[in-house]
Structure 1
Amino acid sequence: MAPPAKAITSPVPDAWYPTLAVFMLAIGLVLTASFFIYEATSSKRNRSLAKELTTGGVASVFLVYLFLSIVVGFSH
């Protein structure tokens, strides 16, 4: 006979959700601002596609996590 299934639990306590959401939003917005400043201040010759993709990708991960957690209902 199979053992009973374990309940799925969050790796982060529920009380941390609002604080975690604020930090994720702050990090995402800072990285997004950094991306826009980089685009506005660098010339087309000096731009690096790798830096653009890295900065944009990391900012997206932080902001997507925040919005996904709101949609799923983690942020109370």
Structure 2
Amino acid sequence: MAPKPITSPVPVEWYPSLSVLMLSIGLVLTASFFIYEATSSKRSRSLAKEITIGAFSSFFLGFGSLFLLLATGVYV
């Protein structure tokens, strides 16, 4: 029985589109985080909202960077 080659769960043709999409979403979320921090007073801020926005922006920027590296041929 011959071993099967390892393949990506995401088609290679999708890498550039996924990187642009995820980086765009991550940058929009990061911008909304900074706007929220700059426009809200210290008493009206919500830690849960800050952590939620930060986690989602980090997720999208991380995977967007990964797909950008994969799209350019840097296999990590």
TM-score by length of 1: 0.83
Contact 2:26–2:61 under 8 Å retained in 1: yes
Q: Distance in 2 between matches of 1:63 and 1:16?
A: 17
Q: Is the 8 A contact 2:15 2:68 kept in 1?
A: no
Aligned to 1:75: 71
TM-score using structure 2 length: 0.83
Distance in 2 of aligned mates of 1:61 and 1:36: 17
Secondary structure of the residue aligned to 2:42 is coil
| Number of positions where the alignment pairs a residue of Structure 1 with one of Structure 2 | 72
2:48 is equivalent to residue 65 of structure 1: no
Give the whole-Å Cα distance in 2 for the aligned partners of 1:68 and 1:29.
15
1:44 aligned partner: 42
TM-align CA RMSD: 1.4
1:32 equivalent in alignment to 2:6: no
Q: Which amino acid aligns with 1:75?
A: A
Moved over 6 A (4+): none
Determine whether 1:5 maps to 2:3. Answer: yes
Which of these residues, 16, 19, 28, is aligned with residue 18 of structure 1? Answer: 16
Q: Which runs of 5+ in 1 are unaligned?
A: none
What stretches of structure 2 of length at least 5 have no aligned partner? none
